[in-house]
Amino acid sequence: MKKILALVLALTMLMSVCLAASAEIKIGVSIWSSTDTLGSECKRIIDAAAEALGDVEVVYVDQAHISEQVTASAESLAMADCDGMIICNSASAEMGSVIKTCDDNEMYVAQFFRVIDPEANPDEYAQACASPYYVGAVHESEFDNGYTLVTILGEKGCRKIGLEGWEPGDATFLGRWSGYQAGVEAWNEAHPDDQMEMLEPQYGRTTTDTGRATAEAIIDANPDIDALIVAGGGGDTLLGAIAGIEAKGLTGKIAVVSTDFLPDLPAPWPLSPADTMPIPSSPS
């Protein structure tokens, strides 16, 4: 729900400045995919908002969270004469090129599901602050998300945790991972005789098949894990991981937690010691 709210808020911010400049506007959307489960839901909401406003044309560019395609998407939308764009980039470093393209073409830009960290990316952050066309960002606190999730696993009795990400270097995953790590450190400091271990991440991309294969590989290499974090990736990765655990006969033995869920996730999916459940994340 918070992801959808973030999308709506980002779109509203962008449309407000574009509507002030023109009665008829064209909005570009740079998104990882407009056809997968989460992406198609985002597209449905954007299209409904555009229809409700009237005189709004929406143009989509699917960039697969590949850096070269992310930066090129801004150029493509500028060439399509968009008045503004919303973008779910992959790495924050990409925003330097995106913002420059928007400044050069007088095209407004807002981020959704992403934000530029002023400490990790000070140059891009300063560039965004100085840009007359960078509108802002709406996002979740990924650190709090990850920290809370690991804490819940600890309280449920999990002590060896596998980690399945989706894309190396993805800004959202890195934020969640830092929260996981901090959560493990805090747990171990508070419980010196009851330590928790989290494995290095393996990457399951964003499909059911790759999510399953990655989960199975993690289990094969670490048969003693008692929990698996499926960090995100839109929900299909989670379904794949669940299928992999079921195929190995480990349902109820490996707890699974995730941030991204599909509306048709099989329920109930009996897990012990932790239930499969969404972890809330606070906006920041």
Q: Region 195-212: what's the mean pLDDT? A: 93
153-195 pLDDT, tens digit each: 999 999 999 999 988 888 889 999 999 999 999 999 999 999 9
The last residue of one of the domains, among 88, 110, 138, is 138
Q: Region 88-106: what's the mean pLDDT? A: 96
Please check whether residues 9 and 133 belong to one and the same domain. Answer: yes
- pLDDT for 280 equals 36
Please check whether residues 42 and 21 belong to one and the same domain. Answer: yes
7 within some domain: yes
277 within some domain: no
Q: Is the peptide bond before 273 cis (omega within 30 degrees of 0)?
A: yes
274 within some domain: no
- pLDDT for 37 equals 78
Percent of the chain with pLDDT over 90: 61
- pLDDT for 284 equals 29
32 versus 22: the higher-pLDDT residue is 32
119-150 pLDDT, tens digit each: 989 999 999 999 999 999 988 888 999 999 99
Cα distance from N-terminal residue to C-terminal residue, the chain: 15
- Quick one: how far is CA 67 from the chain centroid? 15
Dihedrals phi, psi of 103, to nearest 5 degrees: -60, -45
232 pLDDT above the threshold of 60: yes
Return the minimum-mean-pLDDT range out of 46-50, 259-263, 267-271.
267-271
Please check whether residues 149 and 118 belong to one and the same domain. Answer: no
Q: Is the peptide bond before 132 cis (omega within 30 degrees of 0)?
A: no
Q: Region 40-55: what's the mean pLDDT? A: 88
**Cα-based distances in Å from 136 to 17, 108, 110, 252:** 11, 10, 5, 43
- pLDDT for 205 equals 86
Return the minimum-mean-pLDDT range out of 8-17, 52-61, 62-71, 125-134.
8-17
Please check whether residues 122 and 156 belong to one and the same domain. Answer: no
Q: Is the peptide bond before 192 cis (omega within 30 degrees of 0)?
A: no
Mean pLDDT over each residue of the chain, to the nearest integer: 86
- pLDDT for 39 equals 87
Give the integer Cα–Cα distance in Å for 124 and 171: 13
The last residue of one of the domains, among 138, 164, 192, is 138
- pLDDT for 36 equals 83
280 within some domain: no
169 within some domain: yes
Return the minimum-mean-pLDDT range out of 91-105, 181-195, 196-210, 233-247.
233-247
Please check whether residues 220 and 124 belong to one and the same domain. Answer: no
Q: Which two tokens stand for residue 26?
A: 């064209």
Contact in structure between 84 and 40 (CB atoms under 8 Å): no
Domain at 243, CATH number: 3.40.50.2300
The last residue of one of the domains, among 123, 138, 153, is 138
279 pLDDT above the threshold of 50: no
- pLDDT for 157 equals 96
Please check whether residues 120 and 9 belong to one and the same domain. Answer: yes
- pLDDT for 118 equals 93
- pLDDT for 263 equals 64
2 pLDDT above the threshold of 70: no
Q: How many domains does the chain have?
A: 2
Please check whether residues 130 and 185 belong to one and the same domain. Answer: no
241 pLDDT above the threshold of 80: yes
Provide the b/e sequence for 144-168 (b: ≥16 CB within 10 Å).
Answer: bbbbbbbbbbbebebbebbbbbbbe
Q: What is the pTM of this model?
A: 0.73
Helix, strand, or coil (residue 231)? coil
283 within some domain: no
Closest to 118 (Cα-Cα) out of 97, 101, 140, 95: 95
Q: Region 52-71: what's the mean pLDDT? A: 92
Please check whether residues 133 and 33 belong to one and the same domain. Answer: yes
Please check whether residues 147 and 132 belong to one and the same domain. Answer: no
**Residue 206 DSSP code:** T
200 pLDDT above the threshold of 70: yes
Dihedrals phi, psi of 198, to nearest 5 degrees: -120, 130
284 within some domain: no
Closest to 103 (Cα-Cα) out of 125, 124, 130, 68: 130
Give the integer Cα–Cα distance in Å for 207 and 162: 18
268 within some domain: no
The pLDDT-based confidence of 54 (bands split at 50, 70, 90) is: confident
Question: Which residue segment(s) compose the domain that 24 sits in?
Answer: 2-138
The residues, any chain, with a CB within 8 Å of residue 232's CB and separated by 6 or more, are 165, 166, 172, 173, 176, 258, 259, 260
- pLDDT for 276 equals 39
Please check whether residues 155 and 225 belong to one and the same domain. Answer: yes
Please check whether residues 61 and 77 belong to one and the same domain. Answer: yes
